[in-house]
Amino acid sequence: MTHEFANHREAAMAILTSGAVLSRKEGQFLGGCAFDFGPLTEKQINWLSILLDRHAVRAAVPVAVPRGAVH
Protein backbone atom coordinates (compact mmCIF):
# COMPACT_ATOMS: atom_id res chain seq x y z
CA MET A 1 0.00 0.00 0.00
CA THR A 2 1.28 3.44 -0.88
CA HIS A 3 0.76 6.41 1.40
CA GLU A 4 1.29 10.08 0.83
CA PHE A 5 2.87 12.12 3.62
CA ALA A 6 2.81 15.88 3.89
CA ASN A 7 6.08 15.91 5.84
CA HIS A 8 8.63 13.82 7.70
CA ARG A 9 6.58 13.99 10.91
CA GLU A 10 3.66 12.16 9.29
CA ALA A 11 5.99 9.58 7.75
CA ALA A 12 7.61 8.87 11.12
CA MET A 13 4.23 8.58 12.85
CA ALA A 14 3.05 6.16 10.16
CA ILE A 15 5.89 3.78 11.02
CA LEU A 16 5.48 4.25 14.78
CA THR A 17 1.77 3.44 14.61
CA SER A 18 2.04 0.62 12.05
CA GLY A 19 2.79 -2.06 14.62
CA ALA A 20 6.27 -2.60 13.18
CA VAL A 21 8.82 -4.18 15.50
CA LEU A 22 11.44 -1.46 15.89
CA SER A 23 14.88 -1.49 17.44
CA ARG A 24 15.50 0.97 20.26
CA LYS A 25 17.59 3.10 17.92
CA GLU A 26 14.88 3.14 15.24
CA GLY A 27 12.21 4.07 17.79
CA GLN A 28 14.28 6.90 19.22
CA PHE A 29 15.02 8.27 15.77
CA LEU A 30 11.40 8.07 14.63
CA GLY A 31 10.14 9.57 17.88
CA GLY A 32 12.47 12.51 17.39
CA CYS A 33 11.36 12.95 13.78
CA ALA A 34 7.69 12.73 14.71
CA PHE A 35 7.89 15.61 17.18
CA ASP A 36 10.56 17.83 15.62
CA PHE A 37 9.31 20.64 13.39
CA GLY A 38 12.80 21.40 12.07
CA PRO A 39 14.08 20.17 8.72
CA LEU A 40 15.89 16.83 8.49
CA THR A 41 19.49 16.52 7.38
CA GLU A 42 20.30 14.54 4.24
CA LYS A 43 21.45 11.64 6.42
CA GLN A 44 18.18 11.68 8.39
CA ILE A 45 16.13 11.81 5.19
CA ASN A 46 18.02 8.79 3.89
CA TRP A 47 17.49 6.79 7.10
CA LEU A 48 13.78 7.67 7.21
CA SER A 49 13.45 6.45 3.62
CA ILE A 50 15.23 3.20 4.53
CA LEU A 51 12.89 2.68 7.50
CA LEU A 52 9.82 3.35 5.34
CA ASP A 53 11.01 0.62 2.95
CA ARG A 54 12.08 -1.78 5.70
CA HIS A 55 8.75 -1.60 7.48
CA ALA A 56 6.68 -1.62 4.26
CA VAL A 57 5.32 1.90 4.68
CA ARG A 58 6.10 3.56 1.38
CA ALA A 59 5.53 7.21 0.55
CA ALA A 60 3.95 8.11 -2.79
CA VAL A 61 5.96 11.32 -2.82
CA PRO A 62 9.51 11.90 -1.63
CA VAL A 63 9.82 12.70 2.05
CA ALA A 64 12.76 15.00 1.35
CA VAL A 65 12.11 18.51 2.58
CA PRO A 66 14.00 21.55 1.32
CA ARG A 67 16.52 22.90 3.80
CA GLY A 68 15.11 25.64 5.95
CA ALA A 69 11.51 24.68 5.26
CA VAL A 70 9.08 24.99 8.13
CA HIS A 71 6.41 22.35 8.66
Helix (H, G, I), strand (E, B) or coil at 8: helix
Domain ranges of the chain: 2-59
pLDDT in tens, 28-38: 999 999 999 99
> In Å, what is the CA distance from 40 to each residue of 1, 19, 24, 34?
25, 24, 20, 11
Say whether pLDDT at 65 is over 60.
no
14-53: b (≥16 Cβ within 10 Å) or e = bbbeeebebeeebeebbeebbeeeebbeeebbebbbebbe
**pLDDT value of position 3:** 62
pLDDT-derived band at 4, boundaries 50, 70, 90? confident
Average pLDDT, the chain: 82
